[in-house]
């Protein structure tokens, strides 16, 4: 897909024109992104080579959690796993106001997708998601996790 | 390293004060007396306890339960070693003495571990409630 960007410092009415042949999911996602103020992330399906496959625009609210493995960043959604071409720190900075919080050195979770938080018999605390997956909350991040939840609760009141 | 030493000494001072004052109250209540050897051993045990608890960062990848068990074993071995060294100066320990040492070491440790688990459970429950509240408020604001 060809992308044209025009920078004009004097423009007062910023706008986006989309030319398409048929309304594919990616076009729908672009429209949704423009209509919403929420930041978007782009990624490719993790099971495909980086050069292959169409880049998908991911809506953060669809992401369960992000995992950083072997210097690669993956986003886990209901529809699959996507590889993102950015760093965990930059995504954390970008998505922090939207319910994403760091729970370990390599994981960022979406608190709106957490179904339950429960300690295990081995005293590790796990966050369970709607899709049945669960992820451990590292005890080093426990304090910052609680502070984030308190901040989000205050903001949402 | 400077911060570690600072924190270590602070925790050692606090723990030794608590242990010695508690020991003094118990002695007063029971009408018993302590001796210099006990005071020195109390200080050594406090050192071991603070040291073992301060190395928890090295067990970051392990579960808290595994960490508690490892710390228990390390502390038990170090305290046993300290007592064995003490026997060189102050005479042997009777079998009853070893049993009392093991009991007085293990019971408070198990109580401490149980309190830790309870605190962890409470914190997780509070966090879970906060998440539910945030999710509910978001749903309400949408509708």
* Contact across the interface for A114 and B124, Cβ inside 8 Å: no
pLDDT at res. A37 = 66
Nearest to A123 among B65, B128, B130 (CB): B65
- Using DSSP's 3-state secondary structure scheme, residue A118 falls into strand
Residue A6 lies in a domain: no
* Contact across the interface for B120 and A119, Cβ inside 8 Å: yes
* Contact across the interface for B133 and A153, Cβ inside 8 Å: yes
C-beta separation of A42 from A57 below 8 A:
yes
Report the chain B residue with the minimal C-alpha distance to residue A141. Answer: B60
Residue A1 lies in a domain: no
* Contact across the interface for A112 and B68, Cβ inside 8 Å: no
pLDDT tier, A123 (very low <50, low <70, confident <90, very high otherwise) = confident
What does the pLDDT profile of chain B (143 residues) look like in tens digits?
788 888 889 999 999 999 999 999 999 999 988 888 889 989 999 999 999 988 887 887 788 888 889 999 999 999 999 999 999 988 899 999 999 999 988 998 999 889 988 998 999 999 999 999 999 988 876 66
Beta strands, E only, chain A: 41-45, 56-58, 63-69, 72-77, 81-84, 100-104, 107-110, 114-119, 125-129, 134-137
CATH classification at residue A97: 2.40.50.1020
> What does the alpha-carbon distance between residue A154 and residue A145 come to, in Å, rounded to a whole number?
14
- Ramachandran angles phi, psi of B86, nearest 5°: -65, -30
Mean pLDDT computed over every residue of chain A: 86
C-beta separation of B78 from B48 below 8 A:
yes
CA angle B59, B64, B70 (to 5 degrees): 60
Nearest Cα to Cα of residue B86 among B27, B34, B26, B45: B45
Nearest Cα to Cα of residue A67 among A103, A39, A95: A103
* Contact across the interface for A112 and B121, Cβ inside 8 Å: no
Q: Which residue has the higher pLDDT, A130 or A156?
A: A130
* Contact across the interface for B128 and A118, Cβ inside 8 Å: yes
> What does the alpha-carbon distance between residue A58 and residue B111 come to, in Å, rounded to a whole number?
48
Average pLDDT score over residue span A84-94: 90
* Contact across the interface for B63 and A120, Cβ inside 8 Å: yes
ipTM > 0.95?
A: no
> Which residues on chain B are in Cβ contact (under 8 Å) with A152?
130, 134
Nearest to A124 among B64, B68, B121 (CB): B64
Number of domains in chain A: 1
Residue A81 lies in a domain: yes
Could you tell me the sign of the dihedral formed by the alpha carbons of A68, A73, A76, A80, in that order? Answer: negative
* Residue indicated by tokens 């209540």: B29
Residue A47 lies in a domain: yes
The string of pLDDT tens digits covering residues A22-68 is: 887 677 777 777 776 667 788 888 776 655 667 788 888 889 999 99
pLDDT at res. B44 = 94
pLDDT at res. A48 = 62
Residue A132 lies in a domain: yes
Nearest to B127 among A124, A146, A156 (CB): A146
Residue A12 lies in a domain: no
Residue A64 lies in a domain: yes
pLDDT at res. B48 = 93
pLDDT at res. A112 = 92
Q: How far is B94 from chain A (nearest CA, A)?
A: 37
CA angle B137, A78, A3 (to 5 degrees): 95
> What does the alpha-carbon distance between residue A77 and residue A61 come to, in Å, rounded to a whole number?
9
- Domain extent at residue A59: 25-156
* Interior/surface letters B91-103, b for 16+ CB within 10 angstroms, e for the rest: eeeeeeeeeebee
Q: Is A111 on the interface with B (CB under 8 A)?
A: yes
- Ramachandran angles phi, psi of A7, nearest 5°: -100, 125
C-beta separation of A56 from A82 below 8 A:
yes
């Amino acid at each position: 897909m060809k992308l044209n960007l025009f920078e004009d410092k004097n423009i007062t009415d910023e706008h986006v024109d989309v030319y398409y042949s048929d309304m594919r999911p990616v076009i729908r996602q672009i429209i949704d992104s423009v209509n919403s103020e929420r930041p978007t992330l782009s990624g490719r399906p993790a099971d495909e080579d980086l050069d292959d496959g169409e880049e998908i625009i991911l809506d953060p609210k669809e992401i369960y959690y992000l995992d950083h493995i072997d210097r690669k960043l993956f986003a886990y959604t209901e529809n699959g796993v996507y590889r993102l071409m950015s760093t965990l720190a930059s995504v954390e900075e970008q998505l922090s106001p939207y319910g994403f919080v760091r729970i370990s050195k390599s994981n960022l979770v979406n608190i709106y997708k957490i179904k339950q938080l429960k300690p295990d018999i081995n005293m590790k605390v796990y966050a369970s998601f709607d899709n049945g997956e669960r992820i451990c909350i590292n005890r080093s991040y426990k304090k910052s996790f609680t502070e984030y939840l308190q901040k989000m609760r205050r903001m949402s009141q | 390293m400077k911060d570690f030493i600072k924190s270590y000494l602070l925790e050692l001072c606090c723990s030794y004060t608590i242990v010695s004052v508690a020991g003094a109250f118990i002695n007063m209540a029971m009408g018993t007396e302590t001796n210099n050897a006990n005071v020195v051993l109390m200080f050594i045990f406090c050192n071991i306890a603070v040291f073992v608890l301060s190395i928890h960062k090295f067990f970051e990848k392990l579960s808290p339960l595994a960490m508690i068990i490892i710390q228990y074993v390390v502390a038990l071995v170090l305290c046993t070693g300290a007592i064995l060294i003490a026997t060189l100066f102050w005479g042997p320990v009777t079998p009853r003495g070893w049993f009392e040492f093991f009991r007085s070491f293990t019971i408070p440790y198990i109580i401490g571990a149980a309190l830790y688990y309870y605190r962890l459970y409470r914190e997780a429950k509070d966090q879970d409630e906060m998440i539910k509240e945030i999710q509910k408020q978001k749903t309400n604001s949408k509708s």
